[in-house]
A and B are shown apart, each in its own frame.
Chain A
Amino acid sequence: MTDAASSAPARAAGFLRRYPVVTLLILLAVLTAGLQVTSLIMYGKPIVNQLWFGNRLNYAIALAMLAACQTITMFTGGIDLSAAVVATIVAFVTATLTPSLGAGPAILVAMLPALAVGLLNGFGIGVCRVHPLIMTLGSGLIATGFLLVYQRTVIATGTEVPAALVWLGTGRTLGLPNVLVVFLPFAAFLIWAQGRWGFGRLLYAVGANENAARLSGVRIWQVHMALYLVAALIAGLTGLVYVGQIRQASLSLALPLLLPAVAATVIGGTSIFGGRGSYAGTIVGAMILAVLVSLLTLLQIPEGARRILFGAVILAVTAVYVRLSDQG
Chain B
Amino acid sequence: MSRALRRNGWVLGLVVLFLALLAFTKAIQPGFGASGLESLARAALPFAFATAAMAVVVIAGGIDLSVASMMAVASVTAAVLMQGHGAGAPTLPIVLAVLGLGVAMGALNGLLVVLTRVPDIVVTLAMMYVWEGAALLILNAPGGAADPALRAIVLGPVTLPFVPAAWTAWLPKAVVVLAVAVAVVWVPLKRSRLGLSIYAIGSDATAAFRSGVAIGPVKVAAYAVAGLFAAMGGLSVTMGTGIGEPIPGPYLLAAVAAVVLGGVALTGGQGGLLGPIVAVFILRLVRLDLTLMSVDPNVTAIVEGTIMAVVVMAGGLIALRGRRA
Contacts and interface: CB of A to CB of B under 8 A. Distances in A.
Interface in B191-248: none
Please classify the interface of chain B as helix (H, G, I), strand (E, B), loop, or mixed, using the class held by over half of its residues.
Answer: helix
A134 B138 CA distance: 31
A137 B250 CA distance: 12
Interface in A127-179: 128-131, 133-135, 137-139, 141-142, 144-146, 148-149, 152
A305 B309 contact: no
Given A134-B256, A141-B253, A128 B316 contact: yes
Contacts of A133: 63, 121
A152 B298 contact: yes
A310 interface: yes
A266 B122 contact: yes
B305 A142 contact: yes
Interface in A301-318: 302-312, 314-315, 318
Interface in A248-295: 259, 262-263, 266, 272-273
Contact of B137 (A124, A148, A262, A305): A305
Given A315-B123, A326-B117, A149 B296 contact: yes
A308 B127 CA distance: 8
Contacts of A134: 256, 260, 266, 312
B9 to A, nearest CB: 21
Contacts of B320: 128-129
Interface stretch (B13-21, B128-136, B145-153, B156-164): B128-136
B137 A302 contact: yes
A21 B135 CA distance: 35
A138 B309 contact: yes
Looking at chain B, what size class is its interface with the partner chain? 35 or more
Contacts of B300: 145
Contacts of B112: 315
B126 interface: yes
A141 B305 contact: yes
A322 interface: yes
Contacts of A123: 313
Looking at chain A, what size class is its interface with the partner chain? 35 or more
Given A149-B302, A308-B133, A311-B126, A319 B116 contact: yes
B118 interface: yes
A318 B302 CA distance: 35
A288 to B, nearest CB: 15
A27 B127 CA distance: 22
Contacts of A266: 122
Given A128-B316, A262-B125, A145 B117 contact: no
B129 A145 contact: no
Interface string B65-81: 00000000000000000
Given A305-B137, A310-B129, A145 B301 contact: yes
Given A134-B312, A141-B304, A322-B118, 19 more contacts: A123-B313, A128-B314, A128-B317, A128-B320, A130-B312, A130-B316, A134-B256, A138-B305, A142-B301, A142-B306, A145-B305, A149-B296, A259-B125, A303-B133, A304-B136, A308-B130, A310-B133, A311-B133, A314-B129
Interface of B: 63, 112, 116-119, 121-123, 125-130, 132-138, 140, 253, 256-257, 260, 266, 296, 298-306, 308-309, 312-317, 319-320
Interface of A: 120, 123-124, 128-131, 133-135, 137-139, 141-142, 144-146, 148-149, 152, 259, 262-263, 266, 272-273, 302-312, 314-315, 318-319, 322-323, 326
7 contacts: A134-B256, A138-B308, A149-B298, A272-B119, A303-B133, A304-B135, A323-B117
